[in-house]
Structure 1
Amino acid sequence: MNDKVNFGLSKIKKSDKTRLVSKIFSSVSNKYDLMNDLMSFGLHRLWKNHMCKLAKLKKTDIVLDVASGTGDLVVKILSRQPTIEVTCLDENSNMLDICKDRLVDSGYIKNTKFIITSIEDFLDYKEKFTLATIAFGFRNFTDHKKALDNLYNVLKPGGRLLIMDFKTPSNKSIRNLYDIYTDNIIPNIGKFVVNDYDSYKYLSDSIKTYYKPDEVSELFCDSGFTNTRYETLPGDIVTIHIGYKF
């Protein structure tokens, strides 16, 4: 059994990854939203809006948002359907505290629940949810197969899963520019804004070792999801995968 997993461009013990990733997000949590705006030039907000559109939210939805972070996707979901139930799942308590504060400030705290754990350890809600979402968190998981298996188990029949994450551009010229930006500019923005070069170097490097879009689709199918497809957003650096449980 291979006990090594990707951590940026390095290989580490599987048992160490969750702790190290959590340490990174604790380090950057206070400036996480600002950094997202700076790194993406605010485009992450448009990407998440589009994800909500693809989710086809319904008043009857029961939503699990995995790797909720600071909760910006949850606010977008609830701004569209304020009465639905949302469970925010994140293994990092610092991030989830910010998520709670954001939902209080936005007036959406009433129908939300917060659970501090990883999706790999989330086993107690079989066929509870109609929709599961993950925005830019999947590539940081330790065991992607186990995560998808658990997501399949907690979805009701007819439920859907949406995962949005980065990809490497297909065009060589664009890819070269993208590599310069992620290798040099993003870590230095992190150094300047949050005094943390290494965390943002990891986050940039993790994109390079992440799956290709077709490989993510295969993982969906291996865990039982059907009607799986993905959409590449303008700019060729972000994809949204969709799969259904029937």
Structure 2
Amino acid sequence: MPHRRKHYPPIGEKRGKKRQVAAMFDAIAPRYDLLNRILSAGIDRRWRRRAVEMIAPEQPRRVLDVATGTADLAIEVARRLPVERVVGVDIAESMLQVGRQKVDRLGLSERVVLRRGDAEKLPFSDAQFDAVLVAFGVRNFENLERGLRESYRVLRPGGVLVVLEFSRPRTPVIRTLYRWYAHHVLPRIGAWLSRDEGAYRYLPASVEAFPDGPDFLRRMEKVGFRDLQWKPLTFGIASLYRGRR
């Protein structure tokens, strides 16, 4: 069976990206979790735990997980923290369907709610949440500043935003090895398992186009976040960012 490329979205902040990102993730939803585990050797779970640890001192009661996908991060929050409610939003309905099955299977449906929603136009009133999380989603925003402003808007004063995202390693040797893996190994495994080669060529291209590290902190500061932190993970392959409203 030939590999599909029709869901390959534009790179960077471009008009039309949102619709194509949704189509791409809808296409790979059935095998998304399996691919994450294989392609990251399970490290993605550790990264999500670190994200949850960054909001734990805030003792949040209401948490929003933006670009929740199949709800891995929302589930991690509900398992580890005594929250009243975790709301996950995503534009890809097929990803949400997989997430709802996982939430029901784990008996978390009373505390974890998943709904379709646009990160750049969140369906919530102002200051509703104590913490907002985004894992591997901000680089897919069509308009990054608009998405960050929406996260800022729905946070209560003093609330925190934590972003987990892929980044570019700063060490030359690690950067070279990672680029080779991302451009040559990852697309082949992704295409073999998902039958959508474009999705796994999009990933490294989107990482390279994303304003990571200090550049991303400046984006957060521009929309109003303060007390900014940047924490590289696993040789800088991924990064955690935190800001306070």
Q: TM-score, normalised by structure 1?
A: 0.92
1:222 lines up with 2:212 in the alignment: no
Please list the CA deviations of residues 165-184 of structure 1 after superposition, one character each: whole Å capped at 9, or x if unmatched. Answer: 01111112211111110001
What SS does the aligned partner of 1:31 have? Answer: helix
1:167 lines up with 2:167 in the alignment: yes
Aligned residues: 239
Q: Do the aligned residues in 2 keep the contact of 1:8 with 1:203 (CA within 8 Å)?
A: no
Structure 1 residues 11 and 161: CA distance shift in structure 2, 3 A = closer
Q: Do the aligned residues in 2 keep the contact of 1:52 with 1:77 (CA within 8 Å)?
A: yes
- In the TM superposition, 1:86-125 aligns within 5 A as 86-122=86-122, 124-125=124-125
Q: CA offset at residue 80 of structure 1?
A: 1.2
1:29 lines up with 2:29 in the alignment: yes
Kindly provide the amino acid, as one letter, of the partner of residue 187 in structure 2. Answer: P
* Structure 1 unaligned spans of 5+: 1-6
Partner of 1:48: 48
Structure 1 residues 13 and 86: CA distance shift in structure 2, 3 A = closer
Higher relative contact order (CA 8 A, sep 6+): 2
Q: CA offset at residue 243 of structure 1?
A: 0.2
Q: CA offset at residue 12 of structure 1?
A: 8.1
1:38 lines up with 2:38 in the alignment: yes
Q: Pairwise CA RMSD of aligned residues?
A: 1.9
Q: Do the aligned residues in 2 keep the contact of 1:9 with 1:205 (CA within 8 Å)?
A: no
Kindly provide the amino acid, as one letter, of the partner of residue 86 in structure 1. Answer: V
Q: CA offset at residue 51 of structure 1?
A: 1.1
Inter-partner Cα distance in structure 1 for 2:216 and 2:137 = 13
Inter-partner Cα distance in structure 2 for 1:209 and 1:101 = 33
Structure 1 residues 60 and 182: CA distance shift in structure 2, 3 A = closer
Q: Do the aligned residues in 1 keep the contact of 2:56 with 2:81 (CA within 8 Å)?
A: no
Q: TM-score, normalised by structure 2?
A: 0.92
* Structure 2 unaligned spans of 5+: 1-6
What SS does the aligned partner of 1:240 have? Answer: strand
Inter-partner Cα distance in structure 2 for 1:13 and 1:138 = 11
Structure 1 residues 11 and 67: CA distance shift in structure 2, 3 A = closer
Q: Do the aligned residues in 2 keep the contact of 1:57 with 1:81 (CA within 8 Å)?
A: no
1:141 lines up with 2:141 in the alignment: yes
Please list the CA deviations of residues 188-211 of structure 1 after superposition, one character each: whole Å capped at 9, or x if unmatched. Answer: 001111112111101121111111
1:206 lines up with 2:178 in the alignment: no
Inter-partner Cα distance in structure 2 for 1:231 and 1:11 = 25
What SS does the aligned partner of 1:165 have? Answer: strand
